[in-house]
Structure 1
Amino acid sequence: MQVSVGVGCVKQILILGAPAPPTRGRAADWAEMADTVRCRLLLHLEHLTSGELKKFKLYLVNCLPRGCLEEADRPKLADLLVSSLGQQEAWEQALRIWQNMGLRELCERAKKEDLGFIPAPVLTASSGSQTGQLLAVSKVEVFQKNSPSSPAPQAIQASATDTLKLCSPEDFLMLRKKMAGQIYPVMEKEARTRRALIICNTKFNWLPPRNGAEYDIRGMSDLLEGLGYRVDVEENLTALEMESVLQRFASCPDHQTSDSTFLVLMSHGMPSGICGKDYRKEDSQILPVARIFQIFNTSNCPSLKDKPKVIIIQACRGENSGVVWVNDSAVPSAESCTEDLCIFESDALCRAHVEKDFIAFCSSTPDNVSWRNVHKGSLFIIQLIHYFREYACCDHLYDIFHKVQNSFETPKLSVQMPTIERTTLTKYFYLFPGN
């Protein structure tokens, strides 16, 4: 039988044993467009034999979770493609696979269809879903389409025209004098050697790719360089490699002549930590978040003692509705408060807290989704960059973080709420860009 589905213009497509969906005009939003692409994919997948369907799935093992592919029937496979890759990429990927499989007639028929792709971005959220609405593709990250119950954020404040506002020398001197003793010391610009580290896993052996994360890398690198940090970027590491990179960075001699550091970690995640690129359910490769704090504590990184250490984490929590990994444990570390583990400086009889001068900012509260725009980057990172550029010239770090949180109170951005975690800052941390 023939089915008429209108997208801009009416097209005729062939399908066996399926009711005709109603004709509709070109979709006005992404949700309708995604449904259209999903429907078209399903129509063509129905033409594949069981053997051809298995072969089609094999072509997808490098970009979609193998376990999900094995269990997916035709409707779930269409949903998985659109939710994971986005509407246009899913369609183009299917065309390439059909061409490689030698299904010329099917491929040519599909190529003639005018889907009228809408340029609105696909937004991914972290955790699980249901067929036709939210499809659970793994226990690590979810891909969520727009729906009335979970509208996508529509206002992204940062833009390519944003620039870092500098603090004037006069304001710098005035504020430093006014807040003397209440702010972290700022080393002279010519003498200091600030360092920052970005670890971002975008491609995985067994997990779906984190499309759009490359924009987060670029944006955070530009921001931190503008704030006077030399930025090291490491991508697609195993859990052991992440730990090794962190240890090497902690031992960097430049910290001796630096007044602070930033650590930015972005990946898939589980409640127990951050996933390396080789994470799989059968062989968990996890970097515990607590290990990050341990590597940079006073005992293991004395060159950053009494200096702000800012940790920004974007990683999914896993099995529930999808969140960024945060450390909510109320149990104190066994090594952090016993008398025999207190640290004594070799040149003075003073003690130092093992963990101090940390602050961690995470993109979402537990049990809530965290959005990533595959064309612009993570919503949290976009907002973070915008508010740093706008207010680092006059506000201290905690106030900037608070402004980012407040930005998610607006109706158009009320899809997640960033959280400030494990804060042990004892003074105000001003960045004074330009000074």
Structure 2
Amino acid sequence: MTFTFFSMFFGAGNLIFPPFVGAQAGAMTPMAAAGFIISAVGLPILGVVAVSLAGGFEQLAGRVSPKFASLLGLAIILTIGPCFAIPRTATTSFEMAIVPFTGSMPQTLSWLPQLLYSATFFAVSFILSAHPERLSKTLGRFMGPLLLALIAVLFVACVVRHSSGFAAPMGDYVSGQVSRGFLDGYQTMDLLAALYFGIVISANVRSRGIGDESQVRRETALAGVGTGMLLIIIYGVLAYMGAASGSIAAIDPAHDTGATVLTNLTAALFGPFGTAFVGLVFVIACLNVCTGLISTCGTYFMNRFPVVAGHRMKYRTWGAIFAVFSFVVSNAGLSMIIKVSVPVLSALYPMAIVLVALTLTHHVFADRFPRVYFWTVLLVGAVAALGCIASLVAVFGGALPWLDATLGLLPLYDAQLGWLTPAAVGVVIGMVDSVMRRR
């Protein structure tokens, strides 16, 4: 179960963020990696346990309200699908496989390779999404071990090649490395995905003939712990590689990404043939992930919205819509996708965190005060949404001084943890509301 669990979480996208954390944190990589691991490993595992305890995502989020469960589910699917995760598969594989070999391309035509690549990539993904199980059966069995083998080879090469010390922190990691690493852990999107994975893992456990619910929860928890240990080791190794890359090939944190870190490392350590091989592996892995995501989103929308404007929407119609939409978004570039996704994830993650926390304490606390779900998520969601608006405006070069000043009054807002105070207030209001309703 552990390796099944691991394969559901670990994709090509998970490879690019830990090295970027290490490349920026430098000598402070242990602190930054600790924060990253808390949000990228700890929270998703707790999310799986929470969903298993609640009996599914709809039941978990429905404790706030049925409409909220539908809206949050739609927001999660769009986030881990066509808005961010699906386009990121094309841009990540493009930067790993194509960019290193387009250095001589004229600046006026620099957009053309990505346009042609992404068009081909999504066309193939759309065709394969008609039968995604075939791709998973042929590639899924060896892509995971191959990616892990590549990580091991790169790690050993970095250890052998790295002889000097580590650089000083730069970029977003000049200060507050732990909190910055925690926030960058959102980029894996694994907590959001875990809210759907939890019920799948529980079903797999039951399919083995385990009927006792306490035993199901125990097996799910053990698989989660095993997966967490694997992810901690791998993320630690990748963060070290990023920190060591400073003495091998430096990066510009304002414009480069984790894909740049890995590309520079493979080029410096193994030359163009090594870069081409790693790029090919990324293309296959990203194609596999993209096909699965298109299939997941197409199935979700077909079931949720079978008729739109009087027209019956089939699975392949939704798949084509997501492929075309993702093609358009992917040509914004990996760096822009990441910049825009940060505010959105910073809005969704706090709500997911409080839902998981309340579910884990349901039998000892939240069940006695059921209104804490509504009030906590309402206040946290309001603050997170306003913060998302302010951040998105800043990403596109604007500013809302009055909103920034208002949000800045919240404790820990500078560390992007301003939602903690509204969460505490929501718990108190929810307890009072629950007591009054009982009376």
Bigger Rg, structure 1 or 2: 1
Of Structure 1 and Structure 2, the greater strand share is in: 1
Q: TM-score, normalised by structure 1?
A: 0.24
